[in-house]
Structure 1
């Protein structure tokens, strides 16, 4: 769904009720999750499976509409100075944390300085230019910047910049605080309980600042690792919302009790890519990386693994980021003969068994990523590259790629938006090579020319000049090719047809569900 279709889709979502719940909209919504996050506070973690839960517990300073423009949430008014060096936020009065303590500007200032800039993989970059946060009164926070940051407003959702309660964290190591596992938030739902490996339960916050919301009494996030089991649970009504194997989408779409929603918006857009460990000598020759790109049929991946849900990625910036995306970049058509020639030119002849290289390939632990890795293994074998696909759980994958750096190649996806400076830059900026920080510059790519383009775009206030810098970035990225973009994937979710208004912002499933209702059959 594009932006023009987004608003219409929100209005068209049909209504429902589960388990005989009354038409008032109260009731329990059960959502399937493939895996369980370690933490429930995404201010301190960028695990992909954390956001759907954490965003219900914590409201963002801002939300974002279908047009991508900011909307009030915990901040009711905002103003940027003409020179881009000051952002003033006026906060909503009467907001309280779930323990009854008042929320205010002191929480914002502490979160910027002590959490986002220190411990968040994306926030360390996003808020790097924030020198200090002034608190002239309890409901005003003034961010003072050393350089302009034109993307900063886009970063103030709960997804990107979750404010934590200072009174529960100050004086402790935030990473070790027990509240990460049982959060005290300020959102429409409160944490109730957690059964490891089974489910996480939230309940309606009766003191939520937005009177009358939320309209659902309980949210249950059930861990269902097997995608086929998610599809079966949706069909029986055991769960009412979840992501399924893309191979099952067409069948479930034909079920009159279910609805399929496809989301492709700046806050949820992603690019899945094949990454190289550039510390491996063999990958320092760009011809080897180019050969890998020519050996992979991305159209095959889109059709047979993603079942058409997305687009072939020809740039590190996906088409959903419309004001920045460009296809005017070096393109690598599927051409195994060209791949063979490049590997020959790089001095990698085949041995008697026809093998040039033997390497490891580590996919992110997700069904489509594993299937992509298996396909790449087959495709590279045709040009003499033998790949061993290694499967592991999420924690081991992150440790292997970003801490031990014990890998050759990896299949990795990640949110690219809502602005390239927030979601895309992290993969390519040399200063974002940070061992131990997940989903950062794991390739160890370093280019002074690339850094100048990215750092220029970080601070450029003129939209036209900023776009030109990102066009330069895309051309450089596709020339140097530290990672091969494969698929710009859309997010597909299946819901019971009686679930209404669970998507109420551009954050999609990562919205706060305050408007979701369960209607009678």
Structure 2
């Protein structure tokens, strides 16, 4: 291992060891809560999300919470086959301009109000306006007709071949019209204390500790759920999280909540098992996104130089401990239907990086520094902090001084998407099940809106990319859609508004007493109505 890699590993290990100091305190708090919730299923989530409803955000933690209370029209099997949820039947007109849904009867909101087609119409049209992906997902929606209380008809101006697959709870939650209409959206208390139709009734959110849901006795899917209580626990300390799943104080740890350094040891425990399914709906990537308003990063050659200065294989080895795989371009290789395999890559080449920076007009100064940048990272996992910490010395080798900044999730969202007070960020993004829904939002110039999180944060504008995305969004022919997305990928890899680094290793670690936690394409981001737990 090179001295550079050794230093990077030591920096990351020091961060992990420091966290272990808090283990005793965190474990004591968890044990106290666990004693009062005997028999509950406990799910580990980190970091604490900004909301419990994904009407206005796509924050990862919110995607986990929201479907427990607020369901979608459809669910999707592990093979991405549509299944009934709030809709029992659906049909699409031959011209692709009309989607008709027969809604489940006898469903009530948790406050006792009947669920009707008016709720569906309100939700779809609201998602179109306020959801980070909704502007593109529902761009072609003209109106939602409600001929009766149990029928909703979505009318489109143009075909939307991806639309049916966007109707899962974690992507397009159905909310109660009577709790939102005329009461505002962004400051509505429903965002943090939601009333839904789902199997779990929201009880409390103690900031910094937990969210509690109780079984919905009037759930339309009764006798589900079989468990009386669902507790979502928050642990900022990575060592405490590992101890909690190991000792049985929590039952499920999904995604990056458990350190990869602990994974092999934990999987060997007789009470624990690993599940790799349940990520088909998300298709996450980790990337660097540039603020194209930055005077240095406006230069194409500077962005090229940064790409050549980053050794993706080394990042995977040091940051991901060898788990996952490197990636190139805006579409994840896991989204095989649309990923273009033969994209040109900016290979690791320090000589080329230095040459490009010289050509861009930024020579090294007396202190060997060309210019300075700030790196901000999404705080929902130590993975993104470690990635930013790797990038800092990597760019120092070509004369770019990087300062890594940390903040909580609300401050990060404010800085990046509202104030635009950043140079580049390190964060995950979900490609989801279709590029129109998961990828277009990140590069479409019409999705560059201050205050809209998880959107076009770079401020990227390319009329040809806009045209290609918009054409793909209405193209019913799968082969032609793929060709349009192929060209999108070629242009974005050339323009470099961002750099895709790797595809993380996605997994769910669970106690063997718990069953039926991963039966849909969104895994533990589903409603968990079917979950069971042995005594």
TM range (shorter): over 0.9
> 2:443: which partner in 1?
428
Deviation, 1:194, is 2.0
User: The residue matched to 2:494 in structure 1 has which SS?
Assistant: helix
Query: 1:490 pairs with 505, 515, 523, which one?
Result: 505
Quickly say closer, same or farther: Cα 1:265–1:493, change in 2 above 3 A.
closer
Alpha-carbon contact 1:267-1:418 (below 8 Å) kept = yes
> 1:301: which partner in 2?
315
User: The residue matched to 2:297 in structure 1 has which SS?
Assistant: helix
Pairwise mapping of residues 428-467 of structure 1 onto structure 2 (< 5 A)?
428-467=443-482
> 1:88: which partner in 2?
100
Query: 1:315 pairs with 299, 312, 329, which one?
Result: 329
Query: 1:164 pairs with 169, 175, 184, which one?
Result: 175
User: The residue matched to 2:41 in structure 1 has which SS?
Assistant: strand
| Alignment partners' CA distance in 2, 1:194 and 1:273 | 31
Deviation, 1:313, is 1.1
> 2:391: which partner in 1?
376
Pairwise mapping of residues 225-374 of structure 1 onto structure 2 (< 5 A)?
225-242=236-253, 243-263=257-277, 265-365=279-379, 366-374=381-389
Pairwise mapping of residues 20-99 of structure 1 onto structure 2 (< 5 A)?
27-99=39-111
> 2:130: which partner in 1?
119
1:183-237 deviation per Cα after TM superposition (whole angstroms, max 9, x unaligned): 1110111111222221111011111111321111100111111121110111121
| Alignment partners' CA distance in 1, 2:134 and 2:238 | 32
1:406-465 deviation per Cα after TM superposition (whole angstroms, max 9, x unaligned): 111111212111211111111111111111111110101000111111111111111110
Alpha-carbon contact 1:268-1:508 (below 8 Å) kept = no
Runs ≥4 residues deviating over 3 A:
263-266
Alpha-carbon contact 2:278-2:522 (below 8 Å) kept = no
Deviation, 1:265, is 3.5
> 2:162: which partner in 1?
151
1:124-165 deviation per Cα after TM superposition (whole angstroms, max 9, x unaligned): 221121010001111111111111111101110001110111
| Alignment partners' CA distance in 1, 2:322 and 2:281 | 21
1:243-301 deviation per Cα after TM superposition (whole angstroms, max 9, x unaligned): 21122111111111111223473312111111111111222221111111111111112
Q: Tell me which of the two structures has the higher relative contact order, counting C-alpha pairs closer than 8 angstroms and 6 or more residues apart.
A: 1
1:1-50 deviation per Cα after TM superposition (whole angstroms, max 9, x unaligned): xxxxxxxxxxxxxxxxxx9xxxxxx9311112222223211112222211
User: Please, what TM-score do these two structures have when normalized by structure 2?
Assistant: 0.90
> 2:205: which partner in 1?
194
Quickly say closer, same or farther: Cα 1:105–1:264, change in 2 above 3 A.
closer
Deviation, 1:315, is 1.8
> 1:389: which partner in 2?
404
Unaligned runs of 5+ in 1: 1-18, 20-25
| Alignment partners' CA distance in 2, 1:264 and 1:386 | 40
Aligned residues: 495
User: The residue matched to 1:220 in structure 2 has which SS?
Assistant: strand
User: The residue matched to 2:452 in structure 1 has which SS?
Assistant: coil
User: The residue matched to 1:32 in structure 2 has which SS?
Assistant: strand
> 2:415: which partner in 1?
400
Quickly say closer, same or farther: Cα 1:263–1:387, change in 2 above 3 A.
farther
| Alignment partners' CA distance in 2, 1:179 and 1:363 | 28
| Alignment partners' CA distance in 2, 1:502 and 1:323 | 27
| Alignment partners' CA distance in 1, 2:384 and 2:210 | 25
Matched, 1:176 2:187: yes
The alignment yields a C-alpha RMSD, in angstroms, of 1.5
Matched, 1:516 2:528: no
| Alignment partners' CA distance in 2, 1:319 and 1:397 | 28
| Alignment partners' CA distance in 1, 2:85 and 2:440 | 27
| Alignment partners' CA distance in 1, 2:39 and 2:120 | 33
| Alignment partners' CA distance in 1, 2:323 and 2:127 | 33
> 2:13: which partner in 1?
none
Query: 2:214 pairs with 192, 197, 203, which one?
Result: 203
| Alignment partners' CA distance in 2, 1:109 and 1:223 | 34
| Alignment partners' CA distance in 2, 1:264 and 1:387 | 36
User: The residue matched to 2:136 in structure 1 has which SS?
Assistant: helix
Pairwise mapping of residues 466-481 of structure 1 onto structure 2 (< 5 A)?
466-481=481-496
Quickly say closer, same or farther: Cα 1:309–1:104, change in 2 above 3 A.
farther
User: The residue matched to 1:445 in structure 2 has which SS?
Assistant: coil
Quickly say closer, same or farther: Cα 1:324–1:102, change in 2 above 3 A.
same
After superposing the two structures, state which structure 1 stretch, 274-283 or 38-47, moved more. 38-47
